[in-house]
A and B are shown apart, each in its own frame.
Chain A
């Protein structure tokens, strides 16, 4: 099954490919009983490999998602949550470190920390009433990614790919670029009790890429012969004992790896992007190069059909000197994110892409160390753009000093329910039977914020 026989189908809806054909042969009907219910619901005629695209529960507003994760808890009070009272309060309160202005036709208040992004104000949907249970980094990061602060649960990306499958032929359905290795590490893109094939695949930008991506030892024909031998051996084990989600994941991981040898270098190679695109994402500026590369890589992955992508910008835990420290972090992502939004728009992809921005929590109005702020979990800001959300819209609010959310509150489960909804999934129906009960991303809670849906 040579790689170049695969059908090139950009939107990847229904496309029998060598890999998929293989998966049907290999995995069909074996361990995917849990998926049959979902498939039946969606009136899909046959059970397919687990990564085949699946019908959503209802019409999806966005067919893919990209989460721009700002690790550390960026301050909302100096960026997207304008508190004029805080500027006047004085005393133990720390005034916003950057001036705010009303932007675009919508007049959303955004500070000068994000001058480029501010030009896209009319695309943004600010969520000013975010809350999360715990103000510890690890707990909040895990909650943001998996819905649980302390139990091992599948991640948002894994649930999404479990629910929707992937549109990518030769890349994983869920990719996370430069994730943090602490704060829960792989749990944040793990599949926990979901089949292993739904977990996120880690990609690095630049030199780090994917290790061992190049086959330097065998001819392509011989590698395929070798792999066929391996897979026959693997399928024999699977046939003896069909109920092994791990083993099915392993079989697929080889086919995917085989394809990735070609697709990843192609996708990771940003050098062939034209100069104006490199400029748009800030690739030629050392301050923005890292996140710009992540953003551009993400766009290329999206074009290849990857369903869920996460990018990570670290270092937003600004206990000291917000003006300088947050200023520098914001400058490192501002142009890249603005570039990504422009690029998606010009390619007509923004409407079907759900862009999610935010950290694990936000920051307090009171001063912590000099010029800095402590963690705030009772009121902070995230924003969404693209796929099905209201544009130039602000939802939720904190009290006048920004201490806690007072209206339009969105807890972690509410956020997850809303994101799944935008992706066409009902968070109450998206379940997986494990250890004798049906699990959900949203546990026993979660309310969709209908107000933000366009």
Chain B
């Protein structure tokens, strides 16, 4: 049994112990100054020499091939174009390619590289790109439209931050800028009211934490918010879990309580505007939803803050309306309000012994964070919280974690697995990955390219590695007849593609798209209602149900109140920071496809679209259905199977037409298939 955590042992010994035990090697050796691989400076890795010079198309491929060659393995053969366009389309925009796109791509006479580059470049410019990649980011920052915990009241303005994230990905905002705006956008200069609004909205990042609105102790409540901000900042940007050091020195990572409270001082000096009040012993009760507790944005026209517009903005307003007998009460969307942060009372934060809010010790100076291996945070002016300095520290070229962590997140979304497998964990539980040189190469390139996320994604997608086929396309290994599926490390080494199950958003959006009902508009303003309540018993609700026509990224995310389908398809618990989703394959997912009203309605819509054109034969309709749903032409016997199914079905006597029943049933079958649910 591993028994690692005894504070006071030489730290490096613990670290090396962890690493060695984790790879299952019992070893007593502990290098004196073994610092974590992830804390070491980025190395300017040059691509290794390889034997097969003809295979690689980019440096990414050279790193991949070198490791395969070391193991005497060859990469799989390339995926065919139909597979590739579907994969690329889901990866970039979370939707399948249209039959027209498929036709154009397969007919493109240019070579595969050029054709793919054309396609990728086009989708990178699509507004759908930000909806896909923005949502990935929202997972990593515990985005939600309600606070969760004890009194689950809605966040009325979280969506402004969500839209900001989506827009930022669409604009290809440099990642260092993106980080800085989220931490300290209110402290950056701006040239226009629009820019100031955008930057202030970005700080909504800090205000989205799940905390108890009924925490009786004010100081506890403040420290909980501070802790949430430390947690999201260190995990989302740095892949470090610093928040354990709230109560004791970190047991595994080189983070002390002193570091924690030096960071805490920054957020202790920050005021959050969540639109929610708390109940505390000291201050009595406030409205759980309160329009006066929101950030004021400058008006786009006048450039000045405005008074709250007339309407429903708080729990009291809501209750007043309720008393008049109204039931469908909506919050009024004020054009100049948002969630976010501003500078608060500037002060250092005393160490709290064992994390107890009133057990105070000395206060370390704000920002004096001394994490071994990482650069030092610069001095913070007496008049500033230090958020801006923190952001500069996180995005400095000397901080090796930020670029590594983000590059790894991108890689994991494109391959189903990170180069570092636990994408939120770059602390001591993180083993040095096999492809550390590749990670460093990409991270360096990312920084050199001005932290451009789109360039990073493009570079990875245009590598030959991204374009590999699956298992069946592996060449027969030489001299290794005993090798079976479980032992071939090739997928671990990214030597072949692994089929990936679509996530919930892609499944729901694709179903809606096929039905012809998907809209690409954004839902206007506030789409949550209610005033909260105990966790699941909360009166908070979403105005947009699962059958709404909007993309899933735009549906409210209510903590503890998500529709069952979300967890069935592994949508992360929005209390948590979770940069990587689990992938399960369970019977309730099958039941969703077989029996849910939503799937049947989408199938019906898709069937109607097929039936609308009278000039098509049944075979042509089958072909179109395959193209729309599975992104490929059906084989000859697949067409005849489909026609047999249509023929054999026994429509019940009902007002609906038998034709529609038959085609709905066929379409639903295609929607249920593994090919629909996976990208290969």
Contact = CB atoms under 8 A, between A and B. Distances in A.
Interface string B586-603: 111111101110001000
B584 interface: yes
A199 B586 contact: yes
B9 interface: no
Interface in B1-19: 1-5
A214 interface: yes
Q: Which residue, of A214, A218, A221, A412, has the highest number of chain B Cβ atoms within 10 A?
A: A218
Interface in B543-583: 560, 564-565, 567-568, 570, 573, 575-576, 582-583
Interface string B659-674: 0000001101110111
Contacts of B596: 211-212
A446 to B, nearest CB: 8
A150 B470 CA distance: 30
A257 B591 contact: yes
B429 interface: yes
A343 to B, nearest CB: 27
Nearest to B24: A444
Interface stretch (A106-114, A270-278, A434-442): A434-442
Contacts of B588: 201-202, 210-212, 257
Contacts of B666: 226, 229
A146 interface: no
Contacts of B317: none
B584 A196 contact: yes
Interface in A107-154: 133-134, 136, 150-152
Interface stretch (A76-84, A90-98, A246-254): A246-254
Given A182-B573, A190-B584, A260-B587, A212 B673 contact: no
Interface string A395-421: 000000000000000011110000000
Contact of B585 (A212, A250, A435, A446): A250
B489 interface: yes
A293 to B, nearest CB: 17
Contacts of A210: 588, 591
Given A213-B591, A232-B641, A186 B471 contact: no
Contact of B1 (A133, A213, A258): A133
Given A185-B573, A190-B582, A201-B587, A221 B641 contact: no
Contacts of A136: 244
A148 B649 CA distance: 50
A73 interface: no
Contacts of B649: 222, 225-226
Contact of B24 (A196, A253, A414, A437): A437
B675 interface: yes
B26 interface: yes
Interface in B81-131: none
Nearest to B241: A150
Given A212-B595, A243-B471, A181 B669 contact: no
A187 interface: yes
Interface in B624-680: 638, 641-642, 645, 648-650, 652, 665-666, 668-670, 672-675, 677-678
Given A201-B586, A249-B585, A250-B677, A257 B573 contact: no
A215 interface: yes
Interface residues of A, number: 77
A432 B573 CA distance: 29
B537 to A, nearest CB: 14
Contacts of B668: 226
B489 A181 contact: no
A247 B499 contact: yes
A226 B485 contact: no
Contact of A212 (B429, B592, B642): B592
A48 B453 CA distance: 47
B551 to A, nearest CB: 22
A445 to B, nearest CB: 5
Nearest to B560: A181
A345 interface: no
A363 to B, nearest CB: 16
A24 interface: no
Contacts of A196: 584-586
Contacts of B1: 133, 411-414, 445-446
Nearest to B485: A243
A232 B670 CA distance: 11
Interface in B460-504: 470-472, 484-487, 489, 492, 499, 501
Given A134-B5, A237-B674, A246-B585, A182 B590 contact: no
Interface string A214-258: 111111011101110110111001101111101101110110111
A217 B585 contact: no
B422 interface: yes
Contacts of B575: 182
B242 to A, nearest CB: 14
A187 B641 CA distance: 39
Nearest to B600: A217
B650 A219 contact: yes
B155 to A, nearest CB: 19
B587 A199 contact: no
Contact of A217 (B492, B595, B672): B595
A236 to B, nearest CB: 8
Contacts of B470: 241
A101 interface: no
Contact of B669 (A187, A190, A213, A226): A226
Interface in B425-471: 425, 429, 470-471
A172 interface: yes
Contacts of A260: 587, 591
Nearest to B244: A136
A50 interface: no
Contacts of A223: 594
A216 B3 contact: no
A181 B573 contact: yes
A232 B666 CA distance: 13
B623 to A, nearest CB: 15
Given A201-B586, A254-B672, A436 B489 contact: yes
Interface string A151-164: 11000000000000
A136 to B, nearest CB: 8
Q: Which of A233, A241, A444 has the most CB of B within 10 A?
A: A233
B22 interface: yes
A221 B651 CA distance: 11
Given A222-B665, A241-B470, A244-B471, A215 B573 contact: no
Interface string A196-213: 110101100000101111
Contacts of A379: none
Contact of A219 (B22, B652, B675): B652
Interface string B388-425: 00000000000000000000000000000000011001
B215 to A, nearest CB: 13
A31 interface: yes
A191 B585 CA distance: 10
B582 A253 contact: no
B319 to A, nearest CB: 29
The 8 closest A-B pairs by CB, nearest first: A257-B590, A196-B585, A243-B485, A241-B472, A212-B595, A212-B591, A257-B587, A249-B585
29 contacts: A33-B485, A133-B4, A133-B5, A151-B22, A181-B567, A181-B573, A186-B582, A211-B568, A211-B591, A212-B591, A212-B592, A212-B596, A218-B665, A222-B649, A225-B645, A226-B645, A226-B666, A226-B669, A229-B642, A241-B471, A253-B585, A256-B590, A257-B590, A261-B591, A435-B489, A435-B492, A436-B492, A437-B24, A444-B26
Interface of A: 31, 33-34, 133-134, 136, 150-152, 172, 181-182, 185-187, 190-191, 196-197, 199, 201-202, 208, 210-219, 221-223, 225-227, 229-230, 232-234, 237-238, 240-244, 246-247, 249-251, 253-254, 256-258, 260-261, 411-414, 432-437, 443-446
